[in-house]
Amino acid sequence: MRHYLVVVAALLALFVVLFVAVEAAGVPLLTDPSAQLSRADLAAAVVGVGLLVTDVVLPVPSSVVMVAHGALFGAVAGTLLSLAGSVGAGLTGFALGRRGGPLLDRLVPASERRRADALLGRWGALAVVVTRPVPVLAETTAILAGATRSLSWLRMGLAAAVGSLPATALYALAGAAAAGFVSVSLIFAVVLVLAAVTWLVERRRARGGREGVADSDETGPRAQGAEG
């Protein structure tokens, strides 16, 4: 999988460079969008969702936007707005990966593509769920999932929604409760813990399923031998 690791490293490097460049440029809307998110109106909702969608290619302070959604529109509406933006970002990254798929086909040998497709076909949805709250990794995973064509649009959308829901809900609740930055940091840590727990539970479930299949395969021949 050496070629895929190179592609992943290149994507990670690209996102880091974009982050540094935007921070150096000091674009107000991308560094501190609070001025555009000061009133609970349609414009603020559109700007907030739009910023979260563009987070797939630009460094947007997504936690600030999600907290602002909760503060302006309440916990429920704020969660839905942030969820729409986060899922939109995931699907945008997925679409970019689809467009870049032919390029990946030229860069990666066919044997590696088949192996990656098999792995992502099995674990891709879980990878999307787990990485959605994690900056840079979320975008990289979405693009790679689209490029390898291992997931359908529906599975990608559902995985992005499941992975985004805990963070969007917690940030919206923090905003609705007028929490400060310390609370936001704590919430981010909780989200990371939830992602890790989700991964461990899924791995344990998958391992149990494989062990069950292995046991049934061993029992079958033994039973047949006993009958013979």
pLDDT digits (tens, 9 = 90+) for 66-79: 989 988 888 889 99
In a domain, 128, yes or no: yes
pLDDT for the residue numbered 147: 80
In a domain, 219, yes or no: no
**pLDDT at residue 114 tops 50:** yes
Task: State how many domains the chain has.
Answer: 1
**pLDDT at residue 209 tops 60:** no
Which residue type is seen at 60?
Answer: V
**Per-residue CA distances from 100 to 106, 111, 146, 148, 223 (Å):** 10, 19, 8, 9, 52
In a domain, 115, yes or no: yes
In a domain, 170, yes or no: yes
- Where residue 201 falls among pLDDT bands split at 50, 70, 90? low
In a domain, 218, yes or no: no
In a domain, 220, yes or no: no
In a domain, 62, yes or no: yes
**pLDDT at residue 175 tops 60:** yes
Contact 130, 199 (CB under 8 A): yes
What's phi and psi for 41, nearest 5 deg?
-135, 180
Please report the sign of the dihedral spanned by the C-alpha atoms of residue 50, residue 53, residue 54, residue 58: positive
Query: Who contacts 114 (Cβ-Cβ below 8 Å, separation ≥6)?
Result: none
In a domain, 191, yes or no: yes
What is the domain extent for residue 88? 2-213
pLDDT for the residue numbered 179: 46
- Where residue 202 falls among pLDDT bands split at 50, 70, 90? low
> Which of 58, 89, 61 lies closest to 188, judged by CA?
61
Please count the other Cβ atoms lying within 10 Å of the Cβ belonging to residue 6.
12
Give 96-110 pLDDT, tens digit per residue.
888 877 776 676 666
